[in-house]
Amino acid sequence: MTQKTAPDYDHERLATLQGAHRIVGVDEVGRGPLCGPVTAAAVWLDPDALPAGLADSKRLNAPARERVFAAIMASADVGIGHATPAEIDAINILQATYLAMQRAIAALRIPPDYLLIDGNRLPPALPCRAHAVVKGDARVLSIAAASIIAKVTRDRIMADLALQYPGYGWDVNAGYPTKRHKNAIADLGVTPEHRRSFAPIRKILCP
């Protein structure tokens, strides 16, 4: 059995056959970084105007992601949600990821009646029927679109934060624990954007 090389619209078509009308893909980015928000996106794609070049955001380079991001924003209903570092510290990264997803879904112009969510677990308190899809960003077109929106949005946030807190390289590493980032934490200290509940930061603050 050959593995699909690109996401398709099969899950959305199946949901339509099951009576759904507004099928939305949901994905998040930013669970692993040491700082910054976790960001989620919810995307309804117009089946008559599917953007070209849709793929898992991890398979696209930055210029390609920007191009597809613009095409999605021009043709789709998009909701974006975040959970802050303080919220991540207060409720843990998994619950903060669910919170960001719930906020993204709530930010859509038109409420969905079916959700396709990347991963193997569903957030609580969803407004409609939902299905979790493992590796959904590589398999499902609307989840791939959500992965691109979330990735580009969060990268832009981290680039902006890099101007406020120079030296950590967030415009390049997006807050992930690269050698440069960890060295900068040791040299420059912990910022308000760092997640204090994450072990590398907690060890610095509470040696």
- At the fourth CATH level, the homologous superfamily of domain 10-157 is Ribonuclease H-like superfamily/Ribonuclease H (3.30.420.10)
Q: In what order do the strands lie in the sheet with 77-83?
A: 77-83, 38-44, 23-29, 114-118, 129-133
What is the pLDDT, as a whole number, of residue 1?
38
Domain boundaries, the chain: 10-157
What is the pLDDT, as a whole number, of residue 4?
56
Which parts of the chain sit beneath pLDDT 70?
Answer: 1-4
